Each structure stands twice: as structure tokens, then as C-alpha cells.
């Protein structure tokens, strides 16, 4: 079992023939992901990377049996691309696009209510089940198979955590980069819940950052439902209040938004908090030995 994604997942690429879509689709295919086709309006009926191109997601899903889509389209069209995938019944939608207007994501969030689709992102590195499949832009060679799940707001810290875990003699079951925008599809709590219920995951790494309340929400859920060790890291410990740091959602707006406040809440809820990302792997290894 794995979370969200495995070697049998069938993936289509929205924005397939564009520069970004072409490059990352090639990388995903090389990793072993079953990329079964792509969508570029107006280019339906053609072939790209030895895969069929369709005009719509509905056509692509019907003809390929795809249950996963990944979106590489410009910000102005990304919301429509997400909703089109949901309309086609795609189970997992991964949106890589950065810079989608917040108002567009409000519309998407409301639109997805009651739909069977799960959205990861936007502005995220995607999802990878180590040595099986990757749907995203992460460097696959870092992720070695194991039994530690990673949920992270940050792309680069996802890779750092995976590297630390592997160097500690462990490995990754699945890593989920949820994105750092103010409004995203799958929250930290929802991702942690997936790992907590996954038989192939023994421990969870939760990487958050300043801004918003998702880490506190996840920590309080962990306190009530904890069955596996959770190691946490919060980025932005030196960030000044009121200044956005990197991600659109990384801005301290309230008392619980600071790194110190979040770390305190995590500790109170039983999460093993590390001060530096360099200690993530070692801490998880130590905790699992207890």
C-alpha cells in the first residue's frame, strides 16, 4: 500500500506539449511513472513523447483510464484546468503552477466540495512514492524506498528531509509537497491523516512554516489520534512579523503564526520538534528505536 500514488497509477499531463510539461513529463517517464498521455487544447490527435495528446481531460481520461493528472499551465488558466480535471472524475490532481490568484483558488476550493477528486497544491513540488512513481518536479534520485512519510509546505525542505532520512538508514514511503499558497487543496492535517492510516508508513515527518494555522490544526489532530511518531520542523524562525517570506502564505499575521508559537504547540501535542532541518533524519531514527 502507498499514499495517493503507486506504480499502477495512470497519469496525464495538462500542458503536455509546453516547455515545462515536456521536461517534467520526460523526467516522470524516466522515473518509471505510467504517463499515459497529455492534454493540450488544439493539439488533440497528435503524439508527444510517444504518448497521445488530447484536447480535453475528459477525452484523455476516457481513452487512457487515467486516474491522476498533473498541471503545468500558466496561472491565468490553472483554476480552469483543475476544475476540468475534477469534472472528468480524475481522482488525484496535482497542480504545480505558481502564482495563481487567491480569488481563483477560492473558486476552486468551493468547486471541489462534494467532488471525488483530491487536489495537491498549487505551487507545490508534487507527490512521489519512492522507486514507484512521481508526479511532480522533485529530483527522484534522492528518494529511496522505506517507511517514512513526508508532508511539507516547502519543496526544497521536502528534498532535504528525504536526504536526511536516507542518510539515517531509513527511506521514504511517500512524500507529499502540499504547497505554500494561502489556499491549497490538501492540508497538512489531511496529509498526516493519510500517513497515520497507511500500513506502509511507520513514522511521519511534518514540515511547516510561519503563517496560517495548518500546523496547529494538524498537531491537535495528532494529539488525539497519534499511533506513529511524528517529527516536526517549522521554517522561518527568524522571520519578522508582517513580512512575507518566500511563499504567499508565509506571513505572520497572528499570535499562533510565528515559528516559536507553532513549535510550542507541536511539542505540547507530542510531536518531536527539531530546531534545524539537519536533525530531521537522525531524530526520526532515534525515535523509532525507542
Domains of the chain in start order, with CATH, are: 10-120 (3.40.50.720), 138-289 (3.40.50.261)
For residue 24, indicate whether it is catalytic.
no
Q: Please enumerate in sequence order all residues whose Cβ is within 8 A of that of 90, keeping only pairs 6 or more positions apart, or say none.
A: 12, 57, 61, 66, 67, 68, 69, 117
Q: What is the pLDDT of residues 145-175, one digit of tens each?
A: 999 999 999 889 999 999 999 999 999 999 9
101-141 residue pLDDT tens: 999 999 999 999 999 999 999 999 999 999 999 999 999 99
> Nearest-5° angle of CA 274, CA 156, CA 207?
35
For the chain, what is the radius of gyration of the CA atoms?
18
Find the angle CA(63)-CA(93)-CA(21) to the nearest 5 degrees.
75
* CA gap 206, 120 in Å, rounded: 16
- Retrieve residue 273's grid coordinates: 520538534
Cis amide prior to 122 (ω within 30 degrees): yes
Which one from 24, 48, 247, 272 is the annotated catalytic residue?
A: 247
Q: Is the predicted pLDDT of residue 1 greater than 50, yes or no?
A: no
Label each residue of 50-64 as H, E or C: CEEEECCHHHHHHHH
Q: Does pLDDT of 212 surpass 90?
A: no
Q: What is the pLDDT of residues 50-106, one digit of tens each?
A: 999 999 999 999 999 999 999 999 999 999 999 999 999 999 999 999 999 999 999
* Secondary structure of residue 18 in the 3-state scheme: coil
Amino acid at each position: 500500500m502507498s499514499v495517493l500514488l503507486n506504480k499502477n497509477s495512470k497519469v496525464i499531463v495538462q500542458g503536455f506539449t509546453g516547455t515545462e510539461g515536456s521536461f517534467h513529463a520526460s523526467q516522470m517517464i524516466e522515473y518509471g511513472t505510467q504517463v499515459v498521455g497529455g492534454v493540450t487544447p488544439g493539439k488533440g490527435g497528435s503524439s508527444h513523447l510517444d504518448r497521445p495528446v488530447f484536447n480535453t481531460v475528459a477525452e484523455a481520461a476516457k481513452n487512457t483510464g487515467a486516474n491522476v493528472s498533473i498541471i503545468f499551465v500558466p496561472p491565468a488558466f490553472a483554476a480552469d484546468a483543475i476544475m476540468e480535471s475534477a469534472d472528468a472524475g480524475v481522482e488525484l490532481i496535482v497542480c504545480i503552477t505558481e502564482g495563481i490568484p487567491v480569488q481563483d483558488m477560492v473558486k476552486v476550493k468551493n468547486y471541489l466540495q462534494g467532488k471525488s477528486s483530491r487536489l495537491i497544491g498549487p505551487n507545490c513540488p508534487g507527490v512521489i512514492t519512492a522507486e514507484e512513481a512521481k508526479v511532480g518536479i522533485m529530483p527522484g534520485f534522492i528518494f529511496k524506498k522505506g517507511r517514512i512519510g513526508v508532508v511539507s509546505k516547502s519543496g526544497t525542505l521536502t528534498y532535504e528531509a528525504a536526504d536526511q532520512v536516507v542518510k539515517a538508514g531509513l527511506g521514504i514511503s511517500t512524500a507529499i509537497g502540499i504547497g505554500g499558497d494561502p489556499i491549497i487543496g490538501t492540508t497538512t492535517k489531511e496529509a498526516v491523516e493519510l500517513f497515520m492510516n497507511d500500513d506502509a508508513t511507520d513514522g511521519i515527518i511534518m514540515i511547516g512554516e510561519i503563517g496560517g494555522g495548518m500546523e496547529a490544526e494538524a498537531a491537535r489532530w495528532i494529539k488525539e489520534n497519534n499511533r506513529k511518531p511524528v517529527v516536526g520542523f517549522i521554517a522561518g524562525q527568524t522571520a519578522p512579523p508582517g513580512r512575507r517570506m518566500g511563499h504567499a502564505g508565509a506571513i505572520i499575521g497572528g499570535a499562533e503564526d510565528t515559528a516559536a508559537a507553532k513549535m510550542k504547540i507541536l511539542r505540547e501535542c507530542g510531536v518531536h520538534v527539531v530546531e534545524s532541518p539537519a536533525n530531521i533524519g537522525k531524530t526520526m531514527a532515534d525515535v523509532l528505536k525507542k
